[in-house]
Structure 1
Amino acid sequence: MKKAPLKKLTVHLTLLFLVFLGNISSAQEKTIKEITIIDYLHELENSFSVKFSFIDADLVGLQIPKSNTDDLESSLKHILRNTPLEIQKLSERYYSIILKNKLSICGTVLDNFEDNAISGATIRVLDGKKSTISDNTGTFYLEDVPRNSVIQISHLGFKPFLTKAEYLISSTPCATITLALSYQELEEVVVYKFLTDGLAKFSDGSIQMNTSEFGILPGLIEPDILQTAQSLPGIKSVDETVSDINIRGGTNDQNLILWDGIKMYQSGHFFGLISAFNPYLTDKITIIKNGTSSIYGDGVSGVMDMRTKNSIETSFFGGAGINLISGDIFGQVPLAENLAIQFSGRRSLTDFLQTPTYNTFSEKAFQDSEVNTDNDFFFYDFTGKLLYDISPDHKIRLSLIHINNDLDNITTNTNDNEATESSLDQINISFGGSLESEWTDNFYTQANLYYTQYRLTAFSITENASRQLYQNNLVKESSAKFNTIYKIAPTLQWTNGYQFTETGIENITRINQPFFESSIKGVIRSQSLYSEFRLETEDKNFFAQFGGRLNYIANINTFEQVLVEPRLSISYEFAPYFKLEALGEFKSQYTNQIIDLEQNFLGLEKRRWTLADGNVLPIVQSKQGSFGINYDENRLYIGVEGFYKKVTGINVYTQGFQNQNQFNGEIGQYLIKGVEFLINKKTNDYSAWFSYAYNDNNYTFETITPPNFPNNLELKHSFTLAGNYNYNNFKLGIGFNYRSGRPFTEPSTNNPVNTSVVPNEINYNTPNSSSLPEYFRADASATYDFNISSSIKGSVGASILNFTNRKNILNTYYRLNETNEIETVQRVSLGVTPNASFRVNF
């Protein structure tokens, strides 16, 4: 009885011992399963009396599975199968071993969350043309891959993964690559095709233009950024220029225009008739009329935020084109897998080739000025950008833009036959940089710096130098901005930041006879803290963005002020295809443009940038709210929006009065109440739209009689009917624009001239009590795309602005001549303006 337990114990111990020995054997097998390739070659040398020559550095770190083959040929094949080596037989005994220049690679792509296979991942050789995708098990294979190449593995929703090809040498099993999820916040598109391809409306109320997908608009054969903005309801230019865009009845200086995060003080060429920004490297343009994000300061009327292409392409791309005004070229050149440069340049043909387009533009730009049509005028612009990816999570961008308009003119006085030589230079040069960092899947930072300088200089001198006039308007601004983005939850994002800006502006006027000199300089420093929450439900039915800015603004000579600016944007889909929108904002700005009709630049540029001083020019502040409803069933969009906008702290100097209130310097406000309506029917082949805007826009100046009267920029009613049609590679656009005439002030009919004062003055009626005739313009354009070769695409286009040749009166004002008689001066619109273009893209 006592022996049985002992026997059983002996059996158990024996079994445990055998298991222990098995584990030891297994561990030994694992430890000797792979050996270094150098040791393996030495074993073969000893076993088969052969010699291998190789470079030690090429083989260091390489391992190979242990093989028990008994013959040399099988051993050599074993090396070829399991290493990136080539073997060359020199003689019966001697062999040479080198690294292969081309490799076979393979891998299995998984997510790093649950190790699920990722099918459809793109695997690309960055310095070559090879690529493939992973199969349904996440596995991929590529042959003949250069040894030193870098492999990029990417998939929508995951962060890109970079590795060297030699790390993915084909073996069994293939190497495993795990991709991290990317939680990049994407804005919901409410309208996928808004008026034309490349225009989209977002949940926060902003409108975005994507120039790479841009379609065609009436009168445009190329995607002029600022001209395109005027196709949107509520955005017009009362004088047909891109440098005087009025957003919901505001003046142009009340718009914040940004290029790669840099504030721009010049936006046009040819004195406002052409946009100064190259559209082919501008990736997207965001236009905001209300509900502005708290990351933006300045611009009480609206924001136009332009961003150039921001990603590094592995191959060169670019293009060039010419039209009847200018020629341009652009491109991006990759210097390395993580380094590239962008460039663009444009130069006018106007100083050596006078086309019908140039002649019509000249008549419009130089009317009612001191400039002869026979003048020497040209413009150019160029941009540059350096893109450097320190790593996939940290990116540096450096941007530069230079804009120049140059005019030289000679006039001869018929009385004394004396010639006067005049010049006008308008120059903007700006540069900036940014560092974008993604520290975790949920935390991002952005740091921006920029410096911008704008200078407008006019100089005139008579033939004998008896009269000399010098005028200069100089703006210098530098800014630093840092903001953080934290994703609290998949549906909630929190943004915080700080911005410091220093703006200096100088105005100089100097006359030799009679001697007069004026030099006004000022500097304002502003500091802003901002915070904002962004919420969007998982079902995309509700969106809310709310936050604000705290601004400290100080003019180093006169004042300091603290302003709080709340911001709000809400949209709610209360039924299928129906959304409600509510937007609101408080904003402020301390830069303005004085419109000086007496001391202007050759009668062309009457606007001078200046700073708020807290007295004559206070800080301009705005309050705006709007409410709208829209229906979007993808093929049909109908939207209506009502808004209320109040802007305080304006001075008559900034409003362009040409009546009895021109020089008084009163401070007041304007109030706009309006409605905007748009209906847009679209298919894959065409898009047609009708828009209407109503504005009730009135000034209030308590010291003027009467204190309330229509705004100089009031357009009571505005209509647009337009459409475009695509057939294969042919695109056609046609449109009609109608609007009420803007207000102006006529002289009194009973006593038009006041002769009791010296010099005599015009007696006017009540301010803005008359209206110009209504405005009507019809435009058309067409383009055709074709392939020149497999890699070069061509495009030709033609357009006609105002093809009915209607002479629209844009402005009317009055002045006294030398005999004290009243002269009527009228500025008229462009006449029939043809244009044509040819472009290539590669």
Structure 2
Amino acid sequence: MKKTLPFYFLTFYFFHSAAQNFTISGYMSDIKSGEKLIGATTFDIKNGGGTITNEYGFYSLTLPADSVILSFSYVGYTSQKIIFYLNRDTIIHIKLISNTQLQEVVISAEKNEEKIQERSQMSTIDIPIETIKALPAFLGETDVLKAMQLLPGVQGGTEGTSGIFVRGGSPDQNLILLDGVPVYNASHLFGFFSVFNSDALNKATLIKGGFPARYGGRLSSVIDLRMKEGDMDDYHGAGSIGLVASRLTVEGPIKKDTSSFIISTRRTYIDILARPIIKASSDGAVAGYFFYDVNAKFNYKFSDKDRLYLSGYFGRDKFYFNDKDYDPDNYSEGGLNWGNATGVVRWNHILNKRAFSNLTATFTSYEFEIFNNLYETDEDINGEEIQTLLGFKYFSGIRDIALKEDIDFIPSPKHFMKFGAGVIWHTFMPGATEFKQEGIDLDIPDINLSSDNISAVEGDLYAEDDWEISNSLKVNFGLHASLFAVDTSTYISLQPRISARYLVGENVSIKASYSQMTQFIHLLSNSGIGLPTDLWVPATDKVVPQNAHQYALGFAYTLQDNYEISVEGYYKKMNNIIDYKDGASYLYDGVTEWEDKVESGEGWAYGGEFFLQKRIGDFNGWIGYTLSWSNRQFPTINLGEKYPYKYDTRHNIDVAAVYNITDRITFSAVFVFSSGQPISIPVAKYIGAFGELIYHYEGRNGYRMNPYHRMDINISFHKEKKHWTRTWNFGAYNVYNHYNPFFIYEEFDPATGEGFYKQVTLFPIIPYVSWDFKF
């Protein structure tokens, strides 16, 4: 009996101590629209503990029973303080006022907001959506991916396109999420615009390294985009009319304070404007191109603990041509169609005062189609007219259905734990080519050259904890475990992740991270800029999954006046990356499978990044500098020797600035500089044995084009009407008209027969104007 007394004493003490702690929980949102505030801070001023809201605006903070002074804050919002005595579990829903909703306010950061040096996560950047909208835009169309190209560690690829190359990685290594759903091709107009309508977005985050365990499936980055939920209080909208596209967004309550919706649409009218010109200059031929997309989201609050979301995206690019008006009897028609579709059903449920559940079912697909039909009219053996058809069509795509459960558990102010599990059913359509004929008096069946669809199952488990070990040391660590089964092959991967910060002063911290990533799908690309001919394919018994190990070390520092500085160095080793063999075609020929057209290799990327950012105030923006190297090595390319990756640029400088001159005038500017991209140019040429011209190269990508640089500017004039606000935007892309290299080709002097190289410039100065409105 005596031996059991200490046990009973400890048990009584534990429960007695636990009884003295109570939990404050709830949601934080915008007071006007009801939009949830992601990453907002709750801080106990008296005791020093704090937490942040999750991806759905939920927070939970456990504190000792006592009088508490809580501060609720979010960047760009006026903070709110609450003083009360905590003697029971309490639910408090907080609604903050945006600084833009106040007539006169000095915009500044709340002292207790989590600063960059306090976060355990590194290599992560949030870009305010309003900053993205204020920056100069190509042809006046705001673009979140083009804004991310201005961040350190990110290359933009070919000029004008929205391609993303992060820390030496390739486009397929970016996990691009829209409301948690992967988007496989994020480009409109062959990459010149992204598929994301900024008016529909609430938050944009880029993660370049130190990946939390909840993310998986890609090697180089996570681009996490969250849609708005829709205003639960009032109806309003926004839109824009530009030179090439217009957009319209409408949102409001379905049932006030209970349910809401948001619908955002966009369409270009290049085809409408160009149709008369094309028809007049081509003897009746018709050709055109346009794209459109639609974002929609609905949510319903069943109770304080339960909320249901339905959201989706649908977008298409269409290029078409026909010359039937020129000759109705003999003509051709064809086109290219491609696009994405996503759908999400999401159930948020507060399990208890410290646990939050998110159950999600998703659908995503990407499809591409190219076709060409030739019609001819002739006479048969009886002298009667007969129309014949010769047709060609190529189709490819990918489709996913997924189910996932995520749990947030906040046992104390020192821990923020996340764990979950999910499964994805993939269907890959690597390519089908069809030839057909009609009206031809020949017994020839249609020819279908189809690479069989491939089904695969991907499952994952993860657990992570953001643990404040002491006032100085905070660590985010976890494990992501995944399984991929395709045909007779099964791959299992364990991927440890850790990211830590150590405060060496009130405003300075040292950070370090390590992450292992595995990618079970590959992208076969002839371009690297998101052309619709790119093919998604799975790892198989012949082509194994990609994987990468990334290490990073740096420091973060917050200056006065809300300036944040981060400096990071990184090293990334990539294995089993693939590329087409020389001379291979992406079209399926009925004989050679795609696995036999590619080979596996290795990649290395390393460098340093500097980032100075000011997120709030009348003057905001950032300066970024990147020094980097990126190399590839394949067994049969470049004689098996290492060579620079095609988007390896040594130095990159990016400056983005927004200045609110007055309440009615905003000026913004962007400056970009990068070292020349590597290309392959022959160093000699000679005549072969059969008279053919043979070029001699001294290695792949051994020559660099001239450096790239440009400046874009924009000035906006705002005017408030009685029930609406209008804004005129005037700007220019490449304002000083610098001739940047797009590609280089060889020409010959007819007098001497000597060859020389010429540089082609794609975009000179391009002015634009757009008219925005809100109501």
TM-score range, shorter-chain basis? 0.7 to 0.9
Deviations 1:606-663 (A, max 9, x none): 4222222231x321111111111122114333322110011111112299999xxx99
Contact 1:219–1:734, Cα closer than 8 Å, also in 2 = no
Distance 1:683 1:295 in 2: 29
Task: Compute the displacement of 1:822 (Å).
Answer: 10
Q: Is the radius of gyration larger for structure 1 or structure 2?
A: 1
2:685 partner SS: coil
Of the three residues 448, 452, 460, the one matched with 2:372 is: 460
- Structure 2 equivalent of residue 240 of structure 1: 159
Contact kept in structure 2, 1:250 and 1:713, CA below 8 Å: no
In structure 2, do the counterparts of structure 1 residues 411 and 770 end up closer, same or farther at CA, with 3 Å as the change threshold?
Answer: farther
> What is the deviation of 1:833?
2.0
Change over 3 Å in CA distance of 1:755–1:656 after alignment to 2 = closer
How many percent identity over aligned positions? 23
Q: TM-score, with normalisation over the residues of structure 1?
A: 0.68
Q: Does 1:777 align with 2:710?
A: yes
Q: Secondary structure at the match of 1:204?
A: coil
Give the structure 1 partner of residue 121 of structure 2: 204
- Cα drift, residue 516 of structure 1: 7.1
Q: 2:576 aligns with which of 628, 649, 663?
A: 649
Q: Cα gap change, 1:418/1:742 in structure 2, threshold over 3 Å: closer, same or farther? A: farther
Identify the match of residue 730 of structure 1 among 661, 665, 670. Answer: 665
| Native 8 Å contact 2:229 2:297 kept in 1 | no
> AA paired with 1:554?
A
Kindly indicate whether residue 145 of structure 2 is the aligned counterpart of residue 226 of structure 1.
Answer: yes
Among 619, 627, 641, the alignment partner of 1:707 is 641
* Matching of residues 661-676 of structure 1 within 5 Å: 665-676=598-609
1:562: which partner in 2? 492
Are the aligned partners of 1:640 and 1:675 in contact in 2 as well (CA < 8 Å)? yes
Letter in 2 for 1:653: Y
Q: Which amino acid aligns with 1:795?
A: T
Provide the rounded CA distance (Å) in 2 between the counterparts of 1:393 and 1:713.
48
What are the residue-to-residue correspondences of 1:476-487 with 2, within 5 Å?
476-487=399-410
Q: How far off its partner does 1:792 sit?
A: 1.6
Cα distance in 1 for partners of 2:746, 2:448 equals 27
Deviation string for 1:474-496 (max 9, x for gaps)?
Answer: 21111111021211212212211
Alignment correspondent of 1:148: none
- The code of the aligned residue for 2:474 comes to F
Tell me the residue number matched to 2:480.
549
Q: Which letter does structure 1 place at the counterpart of 2:705?
A: L
CA–CA separation in structure 2 for the residues paired with 1:518 and 1:799: 48
Preserved CA contact (<8 Å) 2:473 2:502? yes
Instruction: Note if contact 2:334-2:373 (Cα within 8 Å) is conserved in structure 1.
Output: yes
Query: Residue 610 of structure 1 corresponds to which residue in structure 2?
Result: 537
Letter in 1 for 2:682: P
Residue 57 of structure 2 aligns with which residue?
none
Paired with 1:566 and 1:755, the residues of 2 have a C-alpha distance of 58
Specify the alignment match of 2:427 in structure 1.
Answer: 504
Q: How many residues align?
A: 638
Change (3 A) 1:330 1:122: closer
Q: How far did 1:303 drift?
A: 0.6
CA deviation profile, 1:395-415 (whole Å, cap 9, x unmatched): 110111101111102489xxx
**Structure 1 residues 708 and 502 mapped into 2: Cα distance closer, same or farther (>3 Å)?**
same
The one-letter code matched in structure 2 to 1:293 is P
1:589 aligns with 519
Q: 1:123 to 1:710 in 2, by over 3 A?
A: closer
Partner of 2:396: 473
Note closer, same or farther for the CA distance 1:756–1:302 as it changes in structure 2 (3 Å cut). Answer: farther
Aligned ranges 1:411-426 → 2 under 5 Å: 420-426=332-338
- How far the C-alpha of 1:229 sits from its partner, in A, is 0.9
Q: Deviations over 1:5-54 (max 9, x none)?
A: xxxxxxxxxxxxxxxxxxxxxxxxxxxxxxxxxxxxxxxxxxxxxxxxxx
Residues 572 and 579 in structure 1, CA contact (< 8 A), matched pair in contact too: yes
Q: Where does residue 217 of structure 1 map in the other structure?
A: 135
Report the equivalent of 1:747: 682
- The answer to whether the 8 A contact 2:116-2:557 is kept is no
Cα deviations across residues 473-523 of structure 1 (Å, max 9, x unaligned)?
Answer: 121111111021211212212211101011111111234699672424212
- Matching residue within 730, 747, 752 for 1:798: 730
Task: Check the 8 A contact 2:230/2:252 in 1, yes or no.
Answer: no
Helix, strand or coil: the match of 1:280? helix
* Distance change >3 Å, CA 467–CA 664, structure 1 → 2: same
Report the Cα offset of residue 123 of structure 1: 12
The answer to whether the 8 A contact 1:657-1:712 is kept is no
1:319 to 229, 238, 254: 238
* 1:236, distance to aligned residue in structure 2 (A): 2.0
Amino acid at match of 2:475: A
Which residue in the other structure is 1:375 paired with?
Answer: 287
Q: Distance in 2 between matches of 1:782 and 1:456?
A: 38
Alpha-carbon offset, residue 814 of structure 1: 8.3
User: RCO greater where, 1 or 2, for CA within 8 Å and sep 6 or more?
Assistant: 2
Q: Give the aligned partner of residue 38 of structure 1.
A: none
Q: 1:227 and 1:470, CA in 2 relative to 1: closer, same or farther beyond 3 A?
A: same
How far apart are the structure 1 equivalents of 2:582 and 2:172?
10
Q: In the aligned structure 2, how far is the partner of 1:390 from the partner of 1:347? A: 35
* Distance in 2 between residues matched to 1:792 and 1:753, nearest whole Å: 72
Distance 1:683 1:262 in 2: 30
Which of 255, 258, 281 is 2:174 aligned to?
255
Structure 1 residue 749 displacement after superposition: 1.1
Tell me, in whole angstroms, the C-alpha distance in 1 between the residues paired with 2:300 and 2:253. Answer: 10
Deviation at 1:448? 0.7
Answering whether residue 764 of structure 2 is matched by residue 838 of structure 1, we say no
For 1:747, give the aligned amino acid.
Answer: P
CA–CA separation in structure 1 for the residues paired with 2:23 and 2:481: 46
Tell me, yes or no, if the aligned pair for 1:612 and 1:619 is still in contact at 8 Å.
Answer: yes
Alpha-carbon separation, structure 1, partners of 2:468 and 2:428: 42
CA RMSD of aligned residues (A): 4.2
Q: Could you say what secondary structure the match of 1:610 adopts?
A: strand
Scaled by the length of structure 2, the TM-score of the pair is 0.74
Kept in 2: contact 1:689–1:721 (CA 8 A)? yes
Q: Which residue of structure 1 lines up, in the alignment, with residue 311 of structure 2?
A: 399
Cα shift readout 1:378-435 (whole Å, capped 9, x = no counterpart): 11111211101111111110111101111102489xxxx9854220111212111111
Structure 1 counterpart of 2:220, one-letter code: S
Per the TM alignment, residue 766 of structure 1 is displaced from its structure 2 partner at its CA by 1.3
Instruction: Please name the residue that 1:580 is paired with.
Output: 510
- Work out whether residues 706 and 766 of structure 1, in 8 Å CA contact, stay in contact via their aligned partners in 2: no
- 620 and 113 in structure 1: CA distance in 2 versus 1, 3 angstrom threshold: closer
8 Å contact 1:225–1:279 — kept in the other structure? yes
Structure 1: which 5+ residue stretches go unaligned?
A: 1-111, 127-154, 160-177, 194-198, 363-371, 816-820
Deviations for 1:232-290, whole angstroms, at most 9, x for unmatched residues?
11112111355421111211111011111111112122221112112122111121001
Counterpart contact for 1:242–1:272, Cα < 8 Å:
yes
* 1:182–1:441 contact (8 Å) kept in structure 2: no
Partner of 1:273: 192
Answer whether contact 1:183 1:441 (CA < 8 A) is retained.
no
1:389 aligns with 2:301: yes
Whether the aligned pair in 2 keeps the contact of 1:157 and 1:182 (CA below 8 Å) is: no
Q: Are the counterparts in 1 of residues 203 and 226 from structure 2 also a CA contact under 8 Å?
A: yes
Match of 2:112 in 1: none
Q: Distance between the aligned counterparts of 2:407 and 2:274, measured in 1?
A: 52
Which secondary structure state, in structure 2, belongs to the residue aligned with residue 562 of structure 1? Answer: strand
Contact 1:814–1:825 (CA<8 Å) still a contact in 2?
yes
- Contact preservation (8 Å) 2:728, 2:769: yes
User: Does the 8 Å contact 1:748/1:765 carry over to 2?
Assistant: yes
**Structure-2 separation of matches of 1:373 and 1:301:** 45
1:281/1:330 contact within 8 Å kept: yes
Q: Distance in 2 between matches of 1:276 and 1:748?
A: 41
Structure 2 counterpart of 1:622: 548
In structure 2, how many angstroms separate the alpha carbons of the residues matched to 1:738 and 1:123?
41
